[in-house]
Structure 1
Amino acid sequence: MGQQEKVATSLTGAVSEGISASLAPVDAELARRYPGDPGTRQPVHTVYVPGNLYEAGTLRSWGEQALAMLDEHAPDAASFAAVLGLDASLADAVYDRVRAKLEREPIEDLRIDFEDGYGGTPADEDADVARTARLVAEAYANGTAAPYMGIRMKCFEAAVRDRGIRTLDVFLSELMAAGGLPEGLVLTLPKVTYPEQVTAMVRLVEAFEKAHALDAGRIGFEIQIETSQSILGADGTATVARMIDAAEDRATGLHYGTFDYSACVGVSAAYQASDHPAADHAKAVMQVAAAGTGVRVSDGSTNVLPVGSTEKVHDAWRLHFGLTRRALARAYYQGWDMHPGHLPTRYAAVFAFYREGFEQAAARLAAYANQLGGDIADEPATAKALAGYLLRGIDCGALDTAEVARLTGLTRADLDSFASPRRGDLTATAS
Structure 2
Amino acid sequence: MPQQEPVATSLASTVREEIGAALAEVDADLARRYPGDPGTRQPVHTVYVPGDVFAADTIRSWGEAARTALDEHAPDAAALAAVLGISDELAGPVYDRVRAKLEREPIEDLRVDFEDGYGARADAEEDEAAARAAATVAAAYQDGTAAPYMGIRMKCMEAAVRDRGIRTLDIFLTGLMKAGGLPDGLVLTLPKVTYAEQVTAMVRLLESFEKTHGLAAGRIGFEIQIETTQSILGADGRATVARMIEAAEGRATSLHYGTFDYSASCGVSAAYQSPDHPVADHAKAVMQVAAAGTGVRLSDGSTNVLPVGGTAQVHDAWRLHHGLVRRSLARAYYQGWDMHPAHLPTRYAAVYAFYREGLEQAAARLAAYVAKTGGAVMDEPATAKALSGYLLRGLDCGAVDIAEVARLTGLTRADLDGLAGRPAQAG
Q: TM-score, normalised by structure 2?
A: 0.98
* Distance (whole Å) between structure 2 residues aligned to residue 296 and residue 144 of structure 1: 25
Q: Residues 296-355 of structure 1, C-alpha deviation per residue, up to 9 Å, x if partnerless?
A: 010000000000000000000000000000000000000000000000000000000000
Change (3 A) 1:2 1:199: farther
* Distance (whole Å) between structure 2 residues aligned to residue 3 and residue 365 of structure 1: 38
**Aligned-partner SS, 1:11:** coil
* Residue number in structure 1 paired with 2:137: 136
Aligned residues: 426
Structure-to-structure mapping, 1:335-354, within 5 angstroms: 335-354=336-355
For structure 1, which segment, 189-198 or 17-26, has the greater mean C-alpha deviation from structure 2 after superposition?
17-26
Deviation at 1:234, TM superposition (A): 1.1
**Aligned-partner SS, 1:252:** strand
Change (3 A) 1:71 1:426: closer
* Residue number in structure 2 paired with 1:237: 238
* Residue number in structure 2 paired with 1:76: 76
One-letter code of the match for 2:106?
P
* Distance (whole Å) between structure 2 residues aligned to residue 303 and residue 375 of structure 1: 42
* Distance (whole Å) between structure 1 residues aligned to residue 377 and residue 80 of structure 2: 35
Q: TM-score, normalised by structure 1?
A: 0.98
Deviation at 1:8, TM superposition (A): 1.3
Structure-to-structure mapping, 1:377-392, within 5 angstroms: 377-392=378-393
One-letter code of the match for 1:13?
S
* Distance (whole Å) between structure 2 residues aligned to residue 12 and residue 85 of structure 1: 65
One-letter code of the match for 2:25?
P
Deviation at 1:3, TM superposition (A): 3.8
Structure-to-structure mapping, 1:402-413, within 5 angstroms: 402-413=403-414
* Distance (whole Å) between structure 2 residues aligned to residue 3 and residue 44 of structure 1: 58
* Residue number in structure 1 paired with 2:56: 56
One-letter code of the match for 1:209?
E
* Distance (whole Å) between structure 2 residues aligned to residue 35 and residue 385 of structure 1: 16
Contact 2:84–2:322 under 8 Å retained in 1: yes
Structure-to-structure mapping, 1:175-254, within 5 angstroms: 175-254=176-255
Deviation at 1:4, TM superposition (A): 4.0
* Distance (whole Å) between structure 2 residues aligned to residue 333 and residue 132 of structure 1: 27
Contact 2:131–2:175 under 8 Å retained in 1: yes
Deviation at 1:119, TM superposition (A): 5.5
Deviation at 1:367, TM superposition (A): 0.6
* Distance (whole Å) between structure 1 residues aligned to residue 54 and residue 33 of structure 2: 37
Contact 1:221–1:252 under 8 Å retained in 2: yes
One-letter code of the match for 2:64?
E
Deviation at 1:6, TM superposition (A): 1.1
CA RMSD of aligned residues (A): 1.0
The answer to whether the aligner puts 1:158 opposite 2:175 as a matched pair is no
Deviation at 1:5, TM superposition (A): 3.4
Structure-to-structure mapping, 1:75-114, within 5 angstroms: 75-114=75-114
Contact 2:260–2:274 under 8 Å retained in 1: yes
Contact 2:228–2:265 under 8 Å retained in 1: yes
Contact 1:209–1:218 under 8 Å retained in 2: yes
One-letter code of the match for 2:98?
V
One-letter code of the match for 2:42?
Q
Contact 1:51–1:119 under 8 Å retained in 2: no
One-letter code of the match for 1:250?
R
Contact 1:274–1:301 under 8 Å retained in 2: yes
Contact 2:414–2:425 under 8 Å retained in 1: no
* Residue number in structure 2 paired with 1:298: 299
One-letter code of the match for 2:262?
Y
Contact 2:414–2:424 under 8 Å retained in 1: no
The answer to whether the aligner puts 1:424 opposite 2:402 as a matched pair is no
* Residue number in structure 2 paired with 1:362: 363
Deviation at 1:2, TM superposition (A): 5.7
**Aligned-partner SS, 1:373:** coil
* Distance (whole Å) between structure 1 residues aligned to residue 424 and residue 223 of structure 2: 24
Deviation at 1:424, TM superposition (A): 2.8
Unaligned runs of 5+ in 1: none
* Distance (whole Å) between structure 2 residues aligned to residue 53 and residue 198 of structure 1: 28
* Distance (whole Å) between structure 2 residues aligned to residue 21 and residue 405 of structure 1: 44
For structure 1, which segment, 83-92 or 367-376, has the greater mean C-alpha deviation from structure 2 after superposition?
367-376
Change (3 A) 1:21 1:117: same
* Distance (whole Å) between structure 2 residues aligned to residue 330 and residue 41 of structure 1: 19
* Distance (whole Å) between structure 2 residues aligned to residue 106 and residue 187 of structure 1: 20
Contact 1:52–1:119 under 8 Å retained in 2: no
* Distance (whole Å) between structure 2 residues aligned to residue 6 and residue 160 of structure 1: 71
Contact 2:413–2:425 under 8 Å retained in 1: no
* Distance (whole Å) between structure 2 residues aligned to residue 412 and residue 364 of structure 1: 17
* Residue number in structure 1 paired with 2:115: 115
